[in-house]
Amino acid sequence: MSVTINYNNMMQHVLGDKGIADSEIQSMEQFALKAFDTVEAGRGNDMQGWMDSPYDQDEVVKAIVKKAEEIRNYDAFVVLGIGGSALGPIAVFQALKHLYYNELPREKRNGPRFYVLDNVDPERMNALFDIIDVEKTIFNVITKSGATSETMSQYLIINDLLKKRLGDKANKHIIATTSSSKGSLIGLAKEQGYDTFFIPEGVGGRFSELCPVGLLPAAVVGIDIAKMLEGAKHMDQVCRNKNLYSNPALMSALLQYISMKKGKNITVMMPYADSLKYIADWYCQLWAESLGKAVDNDGNIVHAGQTPVKSLGVTDQHSQVQLYAEGPFDKVITFIEVQNFRSKCEIPGGLEQLPNVSFLSGNTLNDLMSKELYATRYALTKQKRSNYTIVLDKVDEFNLGALLYLFQMQTAYCGAMLNINTYDQPGVEEGKNATYALFGRKGYEEKARELREATPDSDKYII
């Protein structure tokens, strides 16, 4: 396995006064180690149960693999979930399966077609019914709270349809992944006799990919989930190292923290591999929802956080890189480089009369991808733009588990440095409560009154 971080292009010896000096890192070493101690002190407690995920799931993995085997004969597997209950399954599926998996013939797929419904767009919901047969589909309802309006409305629609078609057998088509003790879904699951997997209490949505939330969907499409957990365990061992200079999550958290303090309020996640495209989405949620906080742990108003932006190499070289190279100095760019792609594609000759095209012939798309990454990194660095590169020797289960865990650790350390609660999301709750009030849900009368009294739109500002 190999997942390493090259942060040369964050530093002063490359970027001059736009970079970070060795002495700055040295002067903040104790600060970083304090964040390390804070995270270690919380290991396994409260909302840091995700740090146990690589170690305590042998039985869960066995049960998941057994269930996944049964599901593999179905025609489709559909995840109903949103936020942390959807982004991980999407990212891991894209990373580790054939990039046109759903379009492959059944014998090549060797598993059900895979879909994640992570929105309540009525067009998408109805479009799904045009391509699946619910009688040949398993639906995995994933919601830790068991009360998320989006997921539960999807569940109501699916359950209604299944009951109309299958009567008493409808329950065989629904698997619930939820809290074992809280929320409405666990009660429903027991009452209806659904197969159920549990989200540990100390694992929040955005930290849940390496628990049944992500492991069941991954296993259903044939991903080796034990290897993913081995990768996470390996990264956990690396990050148990109380040494700033050999702990990649701690060092990258500190680099981001120092950058934020210097006004770099945007962080761009730019993998150079289509397989990792949705890792950027997953990362954006992890970073945004964990670190974007109004108040710190001492009650001070801080409005902390750094805006994550997803980008894809080489595609976004032709849309965003102009801004990254010449716009404001307000960004840190994280490249993800894959050294060995799982397949090779040669660029043939045939246009020798066109020298501006023929130089490509005899190379591979693999070369083009890696040279374009090198060139873009060079161009940005020349413009003194802060960037670092996470290098994966290849995209496989082990490295992906390690990468996900690395980002979770980096987020936890950065949250400790910012002295904020990494694991809550009060800003999201406000919107959820307002939605309940708009629907007239019982208990939200006060919120409904607040909404009625909010400043109405003025026609003056509508054109």
**List of residues contacting ligand PA5 (CB under 6 A):** 82-85, 143-145, 148, 151, 204-206, 289, 425
Least spacing, CB of residue 388 vs ligand PA5, in Å: 25
432 classed as catalytic: yes
DSSP string, 339-375: EE-SS--B-----TT-HHHHTTTTSBHHHHHHHHHHH
Least spacing, CB of residue 158 vs ligand PA5, in Å: 15
213 vs 268, beta carbon nearer ligand PA5: 213
Closest residue to ligand PA5, judged by C-beta, is: 205
- Residue from 144, 150, 233, 289 carrying the catalytic annotation: 289
- Residue from 108, 303, 318, 442 carrying the catalytic annotation: 318
Least spacing, CB of residue 433 vs ligand PA5, in Å: 13
3-state secondary structure 196-208: EEECCCCCCHHHC
List the strands of the sheet with 195-198, edge to edge: 113-117, 76-80, 137-143, 174-178, 195-198
**How many Å apart are CA 147 and CA 10, to the nearest integer?**
43
Compute φ and ψ for 74, nearest 5 degrees: -75, 165
- Quickly tell me which residue has 């999550």 as its tokens: 249
Cis peptide before 39 (omega within 30 of 0): no
Q: How many residues comprise the chain?
A: 463
179 vs 297, beta carbon nearer ligand PA5: 179
Alpha carbon dihedral 123, 128, 130, 131, in 10-degree steps, equals 150
Residue 183 tokens read as: 């929320």
460 classed as catalytic: no
Least spacing, CB of residue 18 vs ligand PA5, in Å: 34
- Quickly tell me which residue has 């390996």 as its tokens: 234
151 vs 256, beta carbon nearer ligand PA5: 151
C-alpha gyration radius of the chain: 24
**How many Å apart are CA 369 and CA 341, to the nearest integer?**
10
85 vs 259, beta carbon nearer ligand PA5: 85
Least spacing, CB of residue 199 vs ligand PA5, in Å: 7
83 vs 214, beta carbon nearer ligand PA5: 83
98 classed as catalytic: no
Would you name the residues annotated as active-site residues? 289, 318, 432
